[in-house]
Amino acid sequence: MNKSRVTITVKTAINAKKSSKKIENSELKKSSKLKNKLFLISGKESLESFLKDENLNSWQLKKIKNLNNGSGFMSFETARGVLGVLKYDQKISDNICDFDSTDYTYFRDNISKWIYRLDEEKDFEVQTLKLSKDALTGFGVGLELFSYGYTENMKINVSVSKEDKKEIQKGLSLGVSINTSRELVDTPPNLLNPKTFKEIIEKEFKNENQFSVKILNSSQLVKNGFGLISGVGQGSVEGPYLVHVTYKSKGAKKSIGAVGKGITFDSGGLDMKPSKFMRWMKKDMGGAASLYGLTHWIKTEKPKVNVDFVFALAENSVSEKSFRPGDILNAQNGKTVEIHNTDAEGRLALASGYNYLKSINKPFDYLFDIATLTGAIKHGLGDRVAGLFTNSSKEGSKLVELSHISGDPLWMMPQPHWTGAQLKSPIADYVNAGAGYGGAISASEFLKNFARPDKKTVWFHLDTYAWTDSARDSFRKKGATGQAVQVLKRWISSIE
Ligand SMILES: [Zn+2]
């Protein structure tokens, strides 16, 4: 497992005053053994006056002056240690297509520059000027994301003012939610299979009083008619499972039903993937992992909503028991599906998840799923923007906007009514893989047929990648990203 060996301690700086006020140099000398100091600044400020107590010499002041306009990072050695300035000052474009940096994303994504700059002793004091709560949270998220997967021991000690501490800690906690998801995705598929994934979820909520867990194992799935996920998982030694986690909050006005795709390894089945595409298929449970990460945030923050999570767990494996192209599978809602491609298995598992949510007869205000579903969406949107499909363009626009602020981008995709024709079968209700272009759209259409949102229910589907192919920002290496945890967190906060 990819356990981090980094401890991050945030403590209140002795003699720290309000975040926007300066700490006198003499006080610092008296109060702190810290050597390194980071200034976080947002907006237009003259840095020279802000730093005047630092006794900087002229070349240093000149360097700092270059930062007066715009955003950037700068650092140098001083007599007392490393001094760094991370500054955000950007006019956000009206055009959301740009997905400009916000103060939240800027501090989240750039804090790694400062940590890299420090020597082994990563003790530092933070002084902030005009930072929003969001910017401080972003700073905390960035620290936590950066700490992920370190194999050597590292201690990061941060001294801040009391007011800043609270927001930074919120960020650290959200960072843990994201890293929880990353760790599941990065776990090798011989260790994380449907059974071990199910056990992790079971154990996590065992003693949580606002949560309950119900599990359908493979024989219960067959007995209860969940033929789609059963078909997908039947070639594998372990699983499949539908794991239902209920979160109940007193005073909740809205209820959410959420399904996550948890294909712990996707060989493609008998329509087998070429090696190049199979190599990273441990990540095909990225949707379920992001939902699991979200439950960590819910457990910590206890938002006032009710949520029914369904983790659709299976391995798409090859054996004499595997489902075949040409098979007709029976869904729990009475519909039949002709298999055209065994590699289009995620939508089958998710459809069973939706069938399950329908079967518990709750009126949901919101229904959604999250899945690493199609290669087609990556061709269209790249590896960092998830496809958003919805029955409500109003809610969709709101989600896109929230995704910008969260630095966890979504883009709304069309769902034209004629797409349904691609899914017609002469011998069943549907085929599982649409022919022709727009594979992400036909996949979404398939799911919508099973989510069947009524007029009062907002439905959306997120097609994600959940992975970065190289290091960037606070992600120090190739691997899982916990995609959509941040935007879903913000979205839930907006509806509670
Ligand atoms: Zn597949």
CA angle 72, 75, 78 (to 5 degrees): 155
Please name which of 245, 249, 284, 248 lies closest in space to residue 265, comparing C-alpha atoms. Answer: 284
Distance 266 CA to ligand 1 centre (A): 5
Label residue 4 by pLDDT band (50, 70, 90).
low
Q: b/e per residue, 179-205, with b = 16+ CB within 10 A?
A: bbbbbbbbbebeebbbbebbebbeebb
Residue 482, domain member (yes or no): yes
94 and 234 co-located in one domain = no
325 and 418 co-located in one domain = yes
Distance 399 CA to ligand 1 centre (A): 27
pTM attached to this predicted model: 0.93
Distance 416 CA to ligand 1 centre (A): 24
138 and 224 co-located in one domain = no
Residue 178, domain member (yes or no): no
Question: Residue 437 is part of which domain span?
Answer: 187-495
pLDDT digits (tens, 9 = 90+) for 409-438: 999 999 999 999 999 999 999 999 988 899
297 and 379 co-located in one domain = yes
Residue 173, domain member (yes or no): no
* Paired residues of 462 in beta bridges: 370, 388
Q: Is residue 163 scored above 90 in pLDDT?
A: no
How confident is the model over 156-166, as a mean pLDDT?
Answer: 88
The side-by-side arrangement of strands in the sheet containing 328-330 is: 328-330, 336-338, 430-431
pLDDT digits (tens, 9 = 90+) for 432-478: 998 889 999 999 999 999 999 999 999 999 999 999 999 999 999 89
310 and 210 co-located in one domain = yes
Residue 179, domain member (yes or no): no
309 and 399 co-located in one domain = yes
234 and 364 co-located in one domain = yes
**Backbone φ and ψ of 360, nearest 5°:** -90, 0
Q: Which CATH number covers residue 128? A: 3.40.220
Query: Rg (Cα) of the chain, in Å, rounded?
Result: 24
Contacts of 249 (CB under 8 A, 6+ apart): 210, 302, 303, 304, 305, 306
291 and 381 co-located in one domain = yes
Residue with tokens 């299979």: 193
Residue 1, domain member (yes or no): no
212 and 163 co-located in one domain = no
Residue pair 463/444 in contact (Cβ under 8 Å)? The answer is yes
Label residue 57 by pLDDT band (50, 70, 90).
confident
CA distance 148 to 21: 33
| Eight-state DSSP code of residue 361 | T
> Residue 267: helix, strand or coil by DSSP?
coil
pLDDT digits (tens, 9 = 90+) for 275-332: 999 999 999 999 999 999 999 999 999 999 999 999 999 999 999 999 999 999 999 9
Please name which of 182, 114, 61 lies closest in space to residue 481, comparing C-alpha atoms. Answer: 182
C-alpha torsion sign, points 265, 267, 273, 279: positive
What residues are labeled active site? 273, 347
Label residue 44 by pLDDT band (50, 70, 90).
confident
Among candidate residues 116, 133, 167, the one where a domain is terminated: 167
C-alpha 444: how far from chain center: 20
Residue 176, domain member (yes or no): no
229 and 158 co-located in one domain = no
156 and 224 co-located in one domain = no
Distance 268 CA to ligand 1 centre (A): 5
Q: Which CATH number covers residue 485? A: 3.40.630.10
CA distance 39 to 123: 14
Residue 49, domain member (yes or no): yes
| Eight-state DSSP code of residue 23 | P
Q: Is residue 187 scored above 90 in pLDDT?
A: yes
| Eight-state DSSP code of residue 130 | S
pLDDT digits (tens, 9 = 90+) for 360-377: 989 999 999 999 999 999
What is the pLDDT, as a whole number, of residue 56? 83
Among candidate residues 116, 135, 167, the one where a domain is terminated: 167
Report the relative pairing of strands 479-480 and 366-371 from DSSP bridges.
unpaired
Distance 178 CA to ligand 1 centre (A): 24
CA distance 327 to 349: 16
Our count of domains for the chain comes to: 2
> Residue 161: helix, strand or coil by DSSP?
coil
Residue 180, domain member (yes or no): no
196 and 48 co-located in one domain = no
Distance 322 CA to ligand 1 centre (A): 13
Distance 284 CA to ligand 1 centre (A): 8
Mean pLDDT score across all residues of the chain = 92
Label residue 352 by pLDDT band (50, 70, 90).
very high
DSSP conformation letters of 200-254: HHHHHHTT-TTEEEEEE-HHHHHHTT-HHHHHHHTTSSS--EEEEEEE--TT---
Among candidate residues 167, 198, 230, the one where a domain is terminated: 167
